[in-house]
A and B are shown apart, each in its own frame.
Chain A
Amino acid sequence: MTTALGSVAAGAILALVAIFGGVAAISPSANSAAKSERVVIYDAP
């Protein structure tokens, strides 16, 4: 019983961290370098 409760609690905490991490990852816009340039740089961060 204790083991099961521990698993559920640990799983819930980690799931929350994963969700918040995922949301944080989604927030910045993709490839958000300057739109207009003479050359589209392939490895611009």
Chain B
Amino acid sequence: MRGLVILCSVVLAGVILGPALGRGVVLAYDLAWSPDARLTPFATGITTPTPRAVPSDAFVWLLGAAITPSLAQKVVLAALLIGASLGAAALLREVRPVAGRWGLCAAALAAVWNPFVSERLVIGQWTVLLGYAVLPWAVRAARRAVVGQTGSLPVALWLGVSGVGGVNSVLLVVLGVFAILLAGARRAPRRMIAHLCVATGATLGISAAWMVPSLVAEIAVDSRSVAAFGPAPDTPLGVWGSLVSGGGFWNVAAHPAARDTVFVSVTAAALSLVAMGIYLVEVRRRNALELAAPVIVGALVVVLSALPALRTMWEWLVTEVPGGGALRDSQKFLAPWMVAVAVGVGLVVDSLRRDRRPWGTPGAVVVIGSVVVLSSQLVWGVGGRLDAVRVPADYRAAAAALSTMPPGEVGVLPWSQYRRYAWNGDRVSLTLAPRMIDQRVLSDDSLPLRSGVISGESPRSAQVSEDIASGLTPVAALSRAGVRYLFVERGAGFEEDGTDEAAARAAGRVVAETESVLLVELPGGGFGAVQMPRANTVGWEITLLTSVVLVTLGGVRVVRRRLPAGLLRSRP
């Protein structure tokens, strides 16, 4: 039975990713993946006020160095989907140990075949999906710790795995784990305190690499982002009707077109509510009400962010409380809800299959088919939106050459962090420059939305934007900021009238000029070698130490569990 569920999960991941598993790398919105393994200052988080992709980009570099970046991306994306599927099936077994293969496969399907996964995949937020994939496993481990079946170690290990993704994935898993441990305090208060201490230690340790520099930096959050990143309707049912079925992501660009129809949105909402109802009834029946706690807490966060009456309080929480900015994109806290819905779908299908009446099996087929049809956009790279492409060789060569040149800051043009590379099918993606150039990179970190521009965090970047707005050319503004190199990306989806390029050529020495890149060295550029700030050093040290401890303890646990069986099998 386990083999069938694994097969289901692998097939589902293959069907969803499709062309994304081809040669090259997928570049989509926030998914910017260097085709060359290079640990850049951006990846370690030392060139931005708060680390943006820590430790996720460093992990990507490490994995890429081991198995090539292209393969690493496929492994990561497939592992996320397979992990989410298997996790939901495992949680179903926890809730209903006798669940059969139909129910398990249905749970595995519903865990990845839904609007939540679709919208996050399209926007390339693999770290959110990492949290989503780890959540059912962490929830199961926490529940077992609550009933005394296991100790704290499995919980700490799953928190450690979520730590790879940084703030987004950690938040989702921490929410689930702490909700269960606190809800379980009524059973054995002392044991829960011990579990909570271990979980807190693991969370802080694994998060120190981004947490310490972020707390030291004290960056202000743009208040306009609170409304911009709040839940948005992706169905005719409004925000609440969209959220119920796992949609409601703030970015319209990620919304599946099919959810515009009333039939699809109503059916999806109804199916989710039925599945959730069955899930809650089942956990209550099995005296496992702790398993409802993550759903309630996650839903509460989303409700707080979406209720107009609480807008002022929510805005204060996000903008004034340290670390509150991580809550802005509140729809991600639907993750526990979606995991529970997936388990609920498995319960529904399992119940129907066990029903001896004639409609049992056809009913189960209809439920499974409905899940498939309601998110049919997921087929084959989310309808072609995820596709592996080859980064042009000249772009890679220019980035490699610049990485070996004397230290100096690199100004990236066009002055925006988003691109529509022609060689990437004009898809929106982040610029690859900070992840490919082993130098300090200065790029525009503001977020251009239809409703206006959300300010970034870098004061130097903001100064360049201000200078451009006041009439300076981008080249002059970057030159004034003291950059040593200009990295002008061509064919990046902007109007190319040659103004920037002509100004760049005139401003300094042309180092390289290819189809994709113009690289210029300016005279008198400042900023030499990049020094790691103290807070970053301390944070990384704590995180690396925690990782070593967790990996060692995890290894010992695996060996201990397998050793007796191995000894029994071995011949004298």
Contact = CB atoms under 8 A, between A and B. Distances in A.
Contact of A36 (B383, B419, B448, B493): B493
Contacts of A6: 358, 361-362
A41 B447 CA distance: 8
Instruction: List 8 tightest A-B contacts by C-beta distance, closest first.
Output: A14-B369, A21-B376, A22-B379, A25-B383, A25-B377, A40-B418, A6-B362, A30-B385
A7 B364 CA distance: 9
Interface residues of B, number: 47
Q: Interface size for chain A: under 10, 10 to 19, 20 to 34, or 35 or more residues?
A: 20 to 34
B25 to A, nearest CB: 16
Nearest to B255: A45
Given A10-B362, A21-B258, A22-B376, A43 B494 contact: no
Contacts of B422: 35
Given A18-B373, A21-B258, A40 B379 contact: no
B365 A40 contact: no
Contact of A31 (B376, B380, B420, B450): B420
Contact of B493 (A18, A19, A40): A40
Given A2-B358, A6-B362, A31-B385, A42 B379 contact: no
A42 B249 CA distance: 14
A26 B419 contact: no
30 contacts: A4-B361, A6-B358, A7-B361, A7-B364, A10-B366, A13-B369, A14-B368, A14-B370, A14-B373, A15-B369, A22-B377, A22-B380, A25-B376, A25-B379, A25-B382, A28-B257, A31-B253, A31-B420, A32-B426, A36-B493, A36-B496, A39-B416, A39-B448, A40-B428, A41-B418, A43-B250, A43-B251, A43-B253, A43-B450, A44-B428
B337 interface: no
Contacts of B362: 3, 6-7, 10
Nearest to A21: B376
A18 B373 CA distance: 5
B353 to A, nearest CB: 10
Contact of A44 (B253, B257, B385, B387): B253
Contacts of B358: 2-3, 6
B526 interface: no
Contacts of B382: 25
Contacts of A3: 358, 360-362
Contacts of B380: 22, 26
Nearest to B362: A6
